[in-house]
Structure 1
């Protein structure tokens, strides 16, 4: 039983109010066909809207199955419309971008009916109205009568208690009107049908009851219903709720009806994404390039810890502070400026590192973190690898290859010696052409490609290094004795003496790979250079004939391969030279220890084997010799005496350790330097932190002598470059982000326009029981779709634009793939665009949810 008690409905106008319903009371039976007649403006549609829960009454009460609606909330009214009310409108009010089946299913979707059940019931409703074969058509493809039948099917699909029809035949011809009225009469057999009409003939023919209104009051009722006892209906009804998928489909179908506008809107919204995407692509590409350079640099510039470390930052700081002395005014006198003292003071701050203790720590369980994180750990020792070429292209066919003797012959040995005082051993090796290969296979694979032959596998095997073009510098060839050193030295002396201005030596030469692979060198062990004479060991390296014999007895070193640096390594522009297997150092140390001179020196640690005297800092004097030694000297020839005196003077300031170093002997547990290689700059920084932790541990344990220091100038410089790139990228992204925000606001405006265009759809949804939140979801789904499409467009266009940008950059810089958008960045841009778009669409969506359903249904 539906009851209206003393209903009053007032509309507020500019000058006051208009009373559309004036103290109206009426009862309706559960199943009857009621027609409401009356002139325009008498309140017929207003009463219908109040009964349907689309409009609220000002006072009075609407009682549904014995339950007052005075305290109904918006959700209660939504539930009431969805479960108990079906609407049929004069203008059909179908959603034009949905199919017939989707229009009918919509009310069931709000109720939460499963997909299978929903389709089944919708088809049954369409069959009742005779449209089962029209399910896939759009309303725009149907006649007016067919659309009204669809509207009726939609109204009855949820099996409502009450069917409300507002001028259902107003837009139809007479024949179609009769068909619709027959259909409504059939429906009225098992439910209440209330129809508003201006056609009294149809009302008389089909209605079981006619109510006439005038000025908001009932003036006649052909079959009034008695008031029954109120029975509170306690039947629980599920509150309607629209799923996101339903809202998504509604919005997607609507957008597809305006494809051109949707595309242009999405493209406009993608402009900000494209700008930021291109910046991120370039930034990522540049950062990847820097990372690759850093990774390659890791092999050439590891963390290097020397046994004696000079803090280069102190030296540089002293030099840079020259112009920073403030507070001094020029006077009448010329004053000295403190510079030399600062430099000497900074040089004097050389620190000694206990590498023996650090090596022990690295190889222990405590240093396992270093072993796990470092790509490789390489140990180097203070020992000279003495190598000669006894088949050199020079006058005497003998050239010292290692240590490189070319600089001494050119008179630059002292300059190189001075440089060695300041530069770390890895950098100082720039003039050498006989160098060690990494012991780590990982470093070998990362640094070198084999051009011909193979990598060395034994101590007496070496490889020749060439550059990317299979070329080797003439400096390396002169140093190796493969070009005439004498000719170069003579030509250099002529230039220095002004005899010529041009370098005559060094015409281009070439070798076949087979010729180079057949070359051999002679390894000379340092102790073999010394011969014991008159109780002391005398150096024979200055004796040409003796040296030739020593070299001839040396062990052959074979070139077994030709290698070149990998193209992307720091050393890809190679000077060239010979690289030997690290096992050669162990072999030399083992052999050197077997010589008599070494055994003698180790047996008498306080006696210098080269002088026969105790180690002393004082200069040599004949008075210090014993009588026996003086008699021995008297028996020497003049040349032998001069050689003896030279040897004595040269070894005056020697020490036990320096003598062992001179003899090429070292302690495997005491390296001269430790190189720790990292895979990335982040790992390198972590390794630096771990060294700091090691130092802190030594200080805590009271072992300050074990604290180590190191320099990482390359790391500081390259990390600074990365910081600059990141800073520039952030600034540019900040500027371009403005366009992203503008694009989002524009999408919000487009959504607002869509709200205005879809006002009737809002009214239809509300009439079927959709809540304000459901309506809001529909428009949030629309902004979601546009935001997603614009984000994907932006990523797609960015990827396409990256191709020509990369090609242009590669053309000018030879750097490949400089513009590459990381997938994480692409995903982030899509998500941030979605977030901004959704945010911009919140206000229009909220406005849509607050639309009055009655006004929305009246809109065109």
Structure 2
């Protein structure tokens, strides 16, 4: 079964060669109890280690079942020790942080035995040595004899062919020694037992064969054995490979860490300091970034990316002309002359052309998904303003939009007149509910759902400008005219109920014109006509009151009325269905107000310019009607077809006057520009220069440095992170190395029962992974606790709440990074542990 042929073992120590064994020739039977006797240093332990595969011979050969081991690799020796050899040591060599049952199970774990089968066989082995009741005790809770029995149970659990015992009774009293020898004698009945001992009496009493060794030579053999060769030397023996599961490695390492709770906690805390620092930085960075993002988003709500039909008067155009003049200007820095940058000349002489938004709208709708992913809302505006009047006509006709307040004011105050003329009270709001919710907070009522529903907008303090109230007719305009600089009313307030439900009247713009005697006449100055038209008009009702969302740039709003695009579409549909609109669009060459062809050189009113039909109609007019007609004729004499469309209120919903893109972020806004630029490239490639779009992005000129600033902060934080991680990694590497030194004997034990170098590396990798996990969790927990007072302090200073918030993803990533770094830092110590000589490791203290 087992044979040594001319085995020699030479150690190199201090530059000298020392022969521990010389030309050893031995053969062993399949079942016998062999005792190896000899003085200390005689080579008997070396002989035992070579037989057990812990140490390698220098020359000769070890045959297993007649097969040579000369070609064995490390994995073959590991498998040989695990499946063929069982070790019993003088100092027991149990893993102190494992229970008796776990110690016995270890060899089965390496063999790949299932958990249930492993537990069953381990308990049977403990019962065999009489320690089933001690299965869940740790070694330090047992006597020496009990620990040696556990060692024997561990050696037997894998049912090895050979049991090797190195001074198994050396640390035991006489009575316990006899019990152990009786047990070994029983075991030798069905397997080979080789025992190294100093006690010749025990050897003579229990052994069936005694071999004496002196100075590395066999000096006597009481029962030599010369087996017949089963196979020629040089054949390769094969064994099932061993492998430790990572879960087993985790269990071993976790139990080891539990035996050193204090140091484990301090190590984890030290490792978590870097994580805490990084987590706090990320918390503040995330909170600040969220705050900036919110400010940016609020800014984008007020300053969209705009495409206007005529973009020549934008701030962007001014800056473009300024930059063009700067770049084209001559360099006079080396002379005593002062040059001139022709900024105004550039603006005046530059070619301006309208954006073809009708063509671009078609392109946009064909690529709707691309634009939708980058925007919160896309808003189309048209050159159409609702004609709104006060519902109460008992005191006359009062225009609400466009407001006629400035004509009614009896004051010489130019500023008041200017404000009344230029303030836009009615404005179209987004039709997207989510967009509206991001812009406004609902105070009362509900958001508009139909064309005839509008909202009243107040400022952040729930105030509305008095000019708005006078323009809307909610305050007495006559009272405003009577006010002097010295007079001021007491503060006035309204309840929500006072304003909700207030209604106005919508007049369709084309209905203001009436055909009389075959001619279209503007009836806006006819009080009776307008009163009747208003009374028949559609009610427009205030259904909700809103204020700007906190933090948005709309906080400076003075208030006003917001209506939806549904109202615009309703008006457009009604206008297009009117008789005057049909007449004008059916005959694009004739002015419906004069009956004359559109021309740049149409003369003032003259009877010669009229047709016979017109002359006949004029003959039936009163002097007042005739004067009104002549005035209208002269006013419209030089009008164009487009002018008449605007006067009548005709719009083409496919040809907006502007398109506003409300992006969710500055990055998305840049991507929007890329989409527009891509469209322009396509138009240029197709030789459609007239359809190239120019756009306005005024806010980008003001906030262009925000992205650069954020990136710079990010780079600085990355630098901090890198330094912290390097320090943490070095510390973990040192601690892992210390753990390797402390667990040297455990490494030897594991190698003796068949653990491979890879298994040893896996154990220490598992330990560093556990340390990294604990460090990461501890760092995140401490960060969350520290964020509480940090947020309190920041809120007291800046009034901004919850600025330091660690995102869930950041916590998970930091824990993963902590584990990765500790595992990486433990690579070198783990390799160092795997390379330890198992014989030396077993004798380490």
Which aligned pairs between 1:8-23 and structure 2 lie closer than 5 A? Answer: 8-23=8-23
1:497 matched to which residue of 2? Answer: none
1:86 to partner: Cα distance? 1.6
Conserved 8 A contact 2:442-2:545: yes
1:420 matched to which residue of 2? Answer: none
Matched, 1:829 2:814: yes
2:320 matched to which residue of 1? Answer: 317
Conserved 8 A contact 1:464-1:559: no
- Partners of 2:579 and 2:370 lie apart in 1 by 43
Conserved 8 A contact 2:444-2:546: no
Conserved 8 A contact 2:9-2:59: yes
Which moves more between the two structures, 242-251 or 659-668? 659-668
Matched, 1:164 2:164: yes
1:294 to partner: Cα distance? 5.2
1:133 matched to which residue of 2? Answer: 133
- Partners of 2:488 and 2:281 lie apart in 1 by 53
SS of the residue corresponding to residue 97 of structure 2 reads coil
SS of the residue corresponding to residue 510 of structure 1 reads coil
Conserved 8 A contact 2:680-2:692: yes
Which moves more between the two structures, 706-715 or 47-56? 706-715
1:739 to partner: Cα distance? 1.0
SS of the residue corresponding to residue 309 of structure 1 reads coil
Matched, 1:564 2:546: yes
TM-aligned CA distance change 1:125 to 1:503, over 3 Å = farther
1:151 matched to which residue of 2? Answer: 151
SS of the residue corresponding to residue 351 of structure 1 reads coil
Matched, 1:107 2:90: no
1:476 matched to which residue of 2? Answer: 468
1:442-484 CA distance string (max 9 Å, x none): 5455545554444555544433223454322223223323345
SS of the residue corresponding to residue 308 of structure 1 reads coil
2:348 matched to which residue of 1? Answer: 344
1:242 corresponds to which of 241, 244, 266: 244
1:852 corresponds to which of 822, 837, 843: 837
Which aligned pairs between 1:452-467 and structure 2 lie closer than 5 A? Answer: 452-456=444-448, 459-467=451-459
2:92 matched to which residue of 1? Answer: 92
Conserved 8 A contact 1:283-1:726: no
Which aligned pairs between 1:680-699 and structure 2 lie closer than 5 A? Answer: 687-699=672-684
TM-aligned CA distance change 1:503 to 1:4, over 3 Å = farther
- Partners of 1:639 and 1:415 lie apart in 2 by 33
TM-aligned CA distance change 1:430 to 1:358, over 3 Å = farther
Which aligned pairs between 1:322-721 and structure 2 lie closer than 5 A? Answer: 327-329=331-333, 337-345=341-349, 348-360=350-362, 376-389=377-390, 399-405=398-404, 411=414, 431-444=423-436, 447-448=439-440, 450-456=442-448, 459-483=451-475, 485=477, 504-505=487-488, 507-517=490-500, 519-526=502-509, 555=537, 557-565=539-547, 567=549, 570-571=553-554, 574-592=557-575, 601-602=584-585, 605-608=588-591, 614-617=597-600, 650-651=635-636, 653-677=638-662, 687-699=672-684, 701-714=686-699, 721=706
Conserved 8 A contact 2:507-2:538: no
1:267 to partner: Cα distance? 1.9
1:498 matched to which residue of 2? Answer: none
TM-aligned CA distance change 1:42 to 1:489, over 3 Å = farther
1:163 to partner: Cα distance? 1.8
SS of the residue corresponding to residue 9 of structure 2 reads strand
- Partners of 1:633 and 1:264 lie apart in 2 by 105
Runs of 5+ in structure 1 lacking a partner? 418-428, 495-501
Tell me the matched-pair count: 834
Conserved 8 A contact 2:161-2:191: yes
What TM-score do you get using the length of structure 2 for normalisation?
0.87
2:737 corresponds to which of 743, 749, 752: 752
2:770 corresponds to which of 773, 785, 788: 785
Which moves more between the two structures, 557-566 or 370-379? 370-379
1:79 to partner: Cα distance? 2.0
- Partners of 1:813 and 1:414 lie apart in 2 by 41
TM-aligned CA distance change 1:704 to 1:124, over 3 Å = same
TM-aligned CA distance change 1:559 to 1:223, over 3 Å = same
1:761 matched to which residue of 2? Answer: 746
Which moves more between the two structures, 62-71 or 119-128? 62-71
Conserved 8 A contact 2:242-2:754: yes
Which aligned pairs between 1:193-232 and structure 2 lie closer than 5 A? Answer: 193-226=193-226, 228-229=228-229, 231=231
1:256-283 CA distance string (max 9 Å, x none): 1111111211222222222222333333
- Partners of 1:375 and 1:39 lie apart in 2 by 90
Conserved 8 A contact 1:165-1:193: yes
1:53 to partner: Cα distance? 1.6
Which moves more between the two structures, 601-610 or 823-832? 601-610
1:340 to partner: Cα distance? 2.0
1:85-112 CA distance string (max 9 Å, x none): 2211111111101110111111121122
1:784 to partner: Cα distance? 1.5
Which moves more between the two structures, 654-663 or 284-293? 284-293
TM-aligned CA distance change 1:616 to 1:180, over 3 Å = same
TM-aligned CA distance change 1:246 to 1:656, over 3 Å = same
1:210-231 CA distance string (max 9 Å, x none): 2222222233333333454454
Conserved 8 A contact 1:620-1:648: no
2:177 matched to which residue of 1? Answer: 177
TM-aligned CA distance change 1:215 to 1:618, over 3 Å = same
TM-aligned CA distance change 1:23 to 1:407, over 3 Å = farther
SS of the residue corresponding to residue 352 of structure 1 reads coil
SS of the residue corresponding to residue 830 of structure 1 reads helix
TM-aligned CA distance change 1:473 to 1:283, over 3 Å = same
1:142 to partner: Cα distance? 0.4
Conserved 8 A contact 2:90-2:171: yes
1:393-431 CA distance string (max 9 Å, x none): 9xx8765432244578664699899xxxxxxxxxxx993
SS of the residue corresponding to residue 18 of structure 2 reads strand
Conserved 8 A contact 1:271-1:740: no
- Partners of 1:430 and 1:192 lie apart in 2 by 110
What TM-score do you get using the length of structure 1 for normalisation?
0.85
1:189 matched to which residue of 2? Answer: 189
1:47 matched to which residue of 2? Answer: 47
2:307 matched to which residue of 1? Answer: 305
SS of the residue corresponding to residue 282 of structure 1 reads helix
Conserved 8 A contact 2:249-2:763: yes
1:135 to partner: Cα distance? 0.5
TM-aligned CA distance change 1:532 to 1:31, over 3 Å = closer
- Partners of 2:593 and 2:160 lie apart in 1 by 118
- Partners of 1:573 and 1:243 lie apart in 2 by 67
1:669 to partner: Cα distance? 3.7
Which moves more between the two structures, 465-474 or 84-93? 465-474
- Partners of 2:148 and 2:27 lie apart in 1 by 28
- Partners of 2:518 and 2:83 lie apart in 1 by 121
Conserved 8 A contact 1:351-1:709: no
Conserved 8 A contact 1:399-1:480: no
1:798 corresponds to which of 776, 783, 787: 783
Which moves more between the two structures, 834-843 or 378-387? 378-387
